């Protein structure tokens, strides 16, 4: 009798082969007559039916090589090896290479067949043949390339270790992930109940509850969501990186009639395993409305396996949903079983989840009690009962996410007070914001946002240059992701802006803690910055000028920093700038107002940079400009000059520093200027010779009217103000300072008496030492009045004292030293004679007689 083995490939590449043994002599046979159903995975390219026969009932033929090109004619010639043998016939013992069967039963063995490594084993009364995943699971030869395709393998224990210890930077993230999973379960149930209301049943409201237990060291997170069946437990929790939410969304997309639900949070399929950050053991009890049974999933942190069993305890039965219990590690029991800590984490990460989240909290209440007063001694009256109040503590559920996501609502339905209240609660502020904007962006990137301008600047000056502020809170589907950004969403100069951003399209890393750089992020940043500038500009155009004045006092430095760091937004930043000017010394003006006040012939915006408003007003550089009615901007803050230099122009008007050379005022008399230069060329050369390398040259000035001279900087060097700032740098480089301070040019006023006297001296007495000292002193004085720092202040002081002595000598009738000495000798002799006479007649004076009228003790 022949034994037949039939291999029949199915469409899913699962090959069923049926072994039908009809044994006549079952006494001497190892395997009893039975019907076996085996499963074997083979490549998809293996097609057709293959039949192998054995010469007797005691043998089963297994071909060592399965050819994909077998034909019916070639089947008869396939060699065979005996698989099963009787106990009495030792000559026909199993000899299938590495696979063998012991006489006392079937044991797990390996053998190769057609490039496949197969496991043969016995499970109960069944024979099991498996394909080892660690071997070559699929080996196909492409017709064109001739290469081999392999499947990736993973070490489960190592992968779990990476997820738990390397994926997340903070342990507290576990609560955010588990609450997000619970929210997804509730969202799925709500969506499916639209078409199948029976899924809701009588299991109560859709909610999430979190209960820490300090005594047991556990945290229990329960929801009344969709729950899971046994198969779903294996599929979702037993398969790493298998996101049930992603599968649910894909199913919705395939069925276009149902649409899609973008409120679902799950994405990567690893958030559940964050529970092992703090737990040494996790138990999941779940009940699906589609199943009558409740199942328990249980796993340990140090294990790569899990257990699923049916819940049999009637007291632990759930009507619907999932209950996750975390058995905390010893190091985390104290922190994460504290109710206030759990409450804080929920408010931080899951405050805007659309379902109510209740936490188990200790509360207190005032109750009235009756107490009997003790009778006094000797009184027989019964004691009176008096009511008193006392405070008692109790435990109860408390709603943790009261604040609603205001950005999800229509801006037309929200009042200003509601925006202010949301701002104060979210960012712990006590002042109302100066301005806010609420907008939704659609197109390539969709996100909602509410951003605010605070009512006060940060107290710490370091926040001005620190891009890592916590002012922007990023949410994905209302779940908090992060507020720690390094300029990804807002540039550094707008770091004072506070707000929330919620998007479904953000490219996050798997831990949902880091925003990855991508085109989507750049588009979001661009639109957020644009909306911020629109908000500030609207504040500037408001009729109430006090609001923008307050904004500028608090955040003007931030805006000026934008002139330096963001050249792409100069057109938006420049109209927001405000400065004092020679015409408006008390009120700040904008550049637009400056241009409106300009004369038609004026083709530049003039400015001067100093350290204070007072020094700007008295600067000698402004004399001629103020005389001609030309307005000059006062840059009195350290950042102003650098900001203006980065702008260069505004509305086709160049910015010109009046403290630098080649100042053109436009209406000078060229003939008179040429004559003056020709007349004083000798003086300029003589003064340059006296000063040497201190100045690059000496020339006639067109900007002075009352001062004798001034020192101006070269076109490409530092101004006096910039040189002062660079000297004050903590890590300043002295070599750079000497190089960048550039040329100093001395300009003289030919109409001033001092210059005319020096002009006469250079003609009549060019070698006069007094004239040379006057030139040196004039240079040192111009150095100070122009804003520069003298190299030797002590030397300058000595020159000034010397000139003062010359100027003041004998002016008020100073006596000569010899006459003063003789007068001193006469005075001393007279005083000696008087003292001897007084000694002869000593008079006693009472204290009251020497009291003066101004004595404070006279009253």
Residue 271 annotated as part of some ligand binding site:
yes
Q: Is 121 annotated as a binding residue?
A: no
* E strand spans, 160-241: 208-213, 218-223
21 within 8 A of 33, measured Cβ to Cβ: yes
Is 447 known as a binding-site position? no
Is residue 673 within 8 Å of residue 686, measured between CB atoms?
Answer: no
Bridge partners (DSSP) of residue 19 are 5, 36
* CA separation for the pair 188, 245 (Å, rounded): 8
Q: Which of 553, 550, 526, 528 is nearest to 539 (CA)?
A: 550
Closest residue by Cα to residue 105 from 94, 117, 90: 94
Rounded to the nearest 5°, which phi and psi values hold at 2?
-100, 145
Structural tokens at position 518: 């991508």
Is 134 assigned to a binding site?
Answer: no
The token duo for 219 is 């945290």
* CA 311 – CA 307 distance, rounded (Å): 12
| Nearest-5° Cα angle at 311, 309 to 314 | 165
Check: CB of residue 668 under 8 Å from CB of residue 618.
no
- Answer yes or no: are the C-beta atoms of 185 and 225 closer than 8 Å: yes
d(CA 13, CA 44): 5
SS3 719: coil
Helices (H), 570-667: 570-573, 591-597, 613-617, 623-627, 640-647
190 marked as binding residue: no
Round to whole Å and give the CA distance between 845 and 770: 60
Structure-token pair, residue 511: 């831990």
In three state form, how does the secondary structure of 663-689 look? CCCCCCCHHHHHHHHHHCHHHHHHHHH
**Rounded Cα gap, residues 656 and 625, in angstroms:** 12
Counting Cα atoms < 13 Å in the Cβ hemisphere of 303 gives 11
**CB burial of residue 454 (10 Å; 0-12, 13-18, 19+):** buried
The DSSP 8-state label assigned to residue 654 in this structure reads: E
CA distance 827 to 858: 35
Cα-Cα-Cα-Cα dihedral of 811, 815, 817, 822, to 10°?
180
Residue 191 counted as an annotated binding residue: no
Torsion of CA 456, 462, 465, 469, to 10 degrees: -70
The answer to whether the annotation marks 177 as part of a ligand binding site is yes
Could you tell me which residues are beta bridge partners of residue 390? 367
Q: Are 357 and 399 in contact (CB under 8 A)?
A: yes
Rounded Cα–Cα distance for residues 470 and 491 (Å): 13
The response to whether 155 counts as a known ligand-binding position is: no
267 annotated as a binding-site residue: yes
Sign of CA dihedral 747, 751, 756, 759: positive
Q: Would you say 244 is a known binding-site residue? A: yes
Was 512 annotated as part of a binding site? yes
CB 447 within 8 A of CB 441: yes
89 marked as binding residue: no
Short-list 614, 610, 612, 574, CA closest to 594? 574
SS3 assignment, position 211: strand
- Binding-site members are 177, 181, 223, 228, 243-244, 267-272, 322, 512
- Binding-site members for ATP are 177, 181, 223, 228, 243-244, 267-272, 322, 512
């Amino acid at each position: 009798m022949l034994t037949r083995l039939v291999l029949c490939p199915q469409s899913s590449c699962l090959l069923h082969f049926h072994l039908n043994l009809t044994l006549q002599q079952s006494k001497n046979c190892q395997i009893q007559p039975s019907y076996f159903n085996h499963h074997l995975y083979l490549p998809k390219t293996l097609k057709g039916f293959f039949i192998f026969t054995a010469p007797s009932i005691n043998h089963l033929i297994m071909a060592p090589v399965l050819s994909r090109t077998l034909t019916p004619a070639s089947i008869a010639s396939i060699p065979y090896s005996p698989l099963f043998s009787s106990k009495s016939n030792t000559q026909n013992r199993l000899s299938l290479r590495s696979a063998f069967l012991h006489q006392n039963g079937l044991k797990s063995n390996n053998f190769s067949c057609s490039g496949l490594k197969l496991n043969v084993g016995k499970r109960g009364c069944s024979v099991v043949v498996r394909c080892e995943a660690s071997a070559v699971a699929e080996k196909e030869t492409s017709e064109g390339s001739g290469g081999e395709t392999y499947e990736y393998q993973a070490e489960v224990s190592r992968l779990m270790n990476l997820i738990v210890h390397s994926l997340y930077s903070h342990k507290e993230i576990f609560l955010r992930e588990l609450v997000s999973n619970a929210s997804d379960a509730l969202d799925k149930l709500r969506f499916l109940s639209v078409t199948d209301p029976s899924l809701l049943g009588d299991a109560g409201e859709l909610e999430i509850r979190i209960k820490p237990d300090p005594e047991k060291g556990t945290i229990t997170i329960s929801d009344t969501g969709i729950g899971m069946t046994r198969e779903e437990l294996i599929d979702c929790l037993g398969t790493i990186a298998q996101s049930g939410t992603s599968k649910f969304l894909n199913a919705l997309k395939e069925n276009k009639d149902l649409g899609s639900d973008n409120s679902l949070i799950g994405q990567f399929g690893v958030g559940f395993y964050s529970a092992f950050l703090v737990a040494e053991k996790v138990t999941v009890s779940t009940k699906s409305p589609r199943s009558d049974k409740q199942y328990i999933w249980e796993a340990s942190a140090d294990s790569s396996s899990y257990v699923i069993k049916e819940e049999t305890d009637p007291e632990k039965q759930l009507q619907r949903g999932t209950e996750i219990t975390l058995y905390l590690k010893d190091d985390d029991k104290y922190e994460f079983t504290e109710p206030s800590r759990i409450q804080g984490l929920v408010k931080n990460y899951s405050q805007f989840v659309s379902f109510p989240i209740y936490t188990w909290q200790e509360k207190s209440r005032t109750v009235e009690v009756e107490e009997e007063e003790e009778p006094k001694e000797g009184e027989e009256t019964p004691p009176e009962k008096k009511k008193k109040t006392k405070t008692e503590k109790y435990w109860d559920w408390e709603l943790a996410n009261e604040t609603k996501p205001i950005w999800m609502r229509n801006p037309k339905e929200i009042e200003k007070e509601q925006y202010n209240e949301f701002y104060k609660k979210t960012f712990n502020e006590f002042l109302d914001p100066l301005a806010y904007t609420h907008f939704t962006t659609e197109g390539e990137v969709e996100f909602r946002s509410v951003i605010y301008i605070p009512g006060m600047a940060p107290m710490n000056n370091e926040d001005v240059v620190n891009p890592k502020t916590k002012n922007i809170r990023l949410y994905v589907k209302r779940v908090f992701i992060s507020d720690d950004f390094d300029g990804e969403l807002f540039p550094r100069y707008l770091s004072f802006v506070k707000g929330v951003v919620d998007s479904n399209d953000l490219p996050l890393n798997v831990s949902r803690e880091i925003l990855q750089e991508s085109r989507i992020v750049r588009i979001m940043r661009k639109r957020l910055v644009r909306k911020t500038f629109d908000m500030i500009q609207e504040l500037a155009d408001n009729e109430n000028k006090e609001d923008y004045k307050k904004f500028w006092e608090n955040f003007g430095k931030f805006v000026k920093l934008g002139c330096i760091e963001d050249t792409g937004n100069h057109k938006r930043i420049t109209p927001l700038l405000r400065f004092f000017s020679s015409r408006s010394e008390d009120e700040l003006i904008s550049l637009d107002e400056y241009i409106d006040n300009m004369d038609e012939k004026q083709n530049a915006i003039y400015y001067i940079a100093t350290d204070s408003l007072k020094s700007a007003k008295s600067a000698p550089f402004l004399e001629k400009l103020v005389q001609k009615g030309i307005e000059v901007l006062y840059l009195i803050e350290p950042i102003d000059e650098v900001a203006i230099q980065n702008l260069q122009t505004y509305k086709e008007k160049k910015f010109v520093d009046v403290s630098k050379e080649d100042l053109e005022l436009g209406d000078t008399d060229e003939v008179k200027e040429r004559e003056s230069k020709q007349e004083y060329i000798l003086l300029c050369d003589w003064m340059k010779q006296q000063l040497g390398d201190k100045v690059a040259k000496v020339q006639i000035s067109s900007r002075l009217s009352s001062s004798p001279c001034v020192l101006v900087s070269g076109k490409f060097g530092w101004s006096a103000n910039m040189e002062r700032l660079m000297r004050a740098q903590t890590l300043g480089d002295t070599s750079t300072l000497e190089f960048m301070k550039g040329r100093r040019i001395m300009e003289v006023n030919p109409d001033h008496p001092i210059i005319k006297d020096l002009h006469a001296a250079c003609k009549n007495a060019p070698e006069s030492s007094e004239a040379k000292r006057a030139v040196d002193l004039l240079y040192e004085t111009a150095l100070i009045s122009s804003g520069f720092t003298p190299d030797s202040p002590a030397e300058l002081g000595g020159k000034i004292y010397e000139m003062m002595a010359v100027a003041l000598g004998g002016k008020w009738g100073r006596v000569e030293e010899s006459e003063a000495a003789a007068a001193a000798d006469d005075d001393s002799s007279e005083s000696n004679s008087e003292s001897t006479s007084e000694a002869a007649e000593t008079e006693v004076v009472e204290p009251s007689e020497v009291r003066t009228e101004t004595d404070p003790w006279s009253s």
